[in-house]
Structure 1
Amino acid sequence: MYVTPAQLADGADALNELAELYQIDPPLLAATIAAGDRSRWTPEEIASADAALDSIVRFTLQAGGEIDARLAQRGYPLPQDPAQFPVLAVWGRAIARYHLHRQRDRTNEETGRIERDYRDAIRALDAVVAGKLSLGAGDPLAPTPPSDPDGGAVRFSSQPRIFSRDKLEGL
């Protein structure tokens, strides 16, 4: 799993967004995700929160599956460690949020950002598959830069000088 429900709900806006999606009290959803005390809520509310968490977990697993499907095309051993390559958690979050919001009205600005983040994550994963982008430091399949026959030396060239001391000596 590249992104956890806790990472998906990290931050007040993200937690409120998830709670609104599932029509659950944000503190209850936070307690459910954190396996905290839920004694102040009714059994019906707790059951709704549990169902929401199950749904969130399914979407995070689906996001991980999409990432793995692309990484497998390049030959990466799976699953990769999101602690070693944190960009996988970022991409996983974008993908999971997109799938969580499929049912929402697609005309508001926030949904537009969610779709943009999803497209950016997919493009980045496709660039990794094509060997144009690395997962980060320690990437076992990182693209190698083209070799430089000059060893990185800087060279300059120009036309011969029109005005020089020799040519302007008599002036």
Structure 2
Amino acid sequence: MSYLTAQQLADGPESLKELSELYGIDAALLAATLDGGDRSAWTIDEQAEADEALDSVNRFIALGDGEVDARLSQRGYQLPMSAAQFPVLTVWARAIVRYHIHRQRDRTSEETGRIERDYRDALRALDYVAQGKLSLGAGDPLAGAGPADGGAVRVASNPRMFTRNTLGAL
């Protein structure tokens, strides 16, 4: 089970355009490849390039899933989690995958800073989940599963040696 699909990664006109530019593939061909649509208008070579791009995207998705799982496992979640039940996982996985695709393709644009920020924010949020400081949302099986006393500091000591009773009438 994956937290993100290639179709979700390319969801929206700007996202599809971004992927098609990164891989140097016509956006309509990439959309048809992602959706399993008719690609007969393109050459066999163009179709093969689109297939390679989809394979690459799927490898990056697997990498992103691994990063999400690595952080969730620190807290003891039963993996893989359900992206349908916890949609925030899809948001975080998407930020991670976009970052790795951009880094691998070695392209820069004004969008790069936002992509890097989203990646760091996703990792920070996952780290907070791993530390128990952030919940995955409604239905989180480990929400509030910290120490029974809420992490309060307790101090214990021996009983007092000198009291009114032990010292007498001094």
Give the one of 94, 102, 106 matched to 1:104.
Answer: 106
Percentage of identical aligned residues = 64
2:4 matched to which residue of 1?
3
CA shift digits 1:45-73 (9 cap, x unpaired): 00000000000000011100100011011
For residues 93 and 136 of structure 2, the distance between their equivalents in structure 1, rounded to whole angstroms, comes to 13
The answer as to whether partners of 2:22 and 2:107 remain within 8 angstroms in 1 is no
The alignment partner of 1:53 has SS state of helix
Q: CA deviation at 1:109?
A: 2.2
1:116 matched to which residue of 2?
117
1:21 matched to which residue of 2?
22
Aligned length: 146
1:80 matched to which residue of 2?
81
Letter in 2 for 1:47: A
The alignment partner of 1:98 has SS state of helix
1:58 matched to which residue of 2?
59
Q: CA deviation at 1:133?
A: 0.1
CA shift digits 1:21-46 (9 cap, x unpaired): 00000000000000110010000000
1:153-168 superposed matches below 5 A: none
Q: Which consecutive unaligned segments of at least 5 residues does structure 2 have?
A: 151-170
The answer as to whether partners of 1:132 and 1:143 remain within 8 angstroms in 2 is no
**TM-score, length-normalised on structure 1?**
0.82
For residues 127 and 48 of structure 2, the distance between their equivalents in structure 1, rounded to whole angstroms, comes to 39
The alignment partner of 2:118 has SS state of helix
The answer as to whether partners of 2:3 and 2:89 remain within 8 angstroms in 1 is yes
For residues 26 and 110 of structure 2, the distance between their equivalents in structure 1, rounded to whole angstroms, comes to 24
CA shift digits 1:80-131 (9 cap, x unpaired): 000000000000000000000003344x320000000000000000000000
Q: Indicate whether 1:38 and 2:39 are aligned.
A: yes
CA RMSD of aligned residues (A): 1.4
Q: Which consecutive unaligned segments of at least 5 residues does structure 1 have?
A: 148-171
For residues 117 and 61 of structure 2, the distance between their equivalents in structure 1, rounded to whole angstroms, comes to 18
Letter in 2 for 1:86: P
**TM-score, length-normalised on structure 2?**
0.83
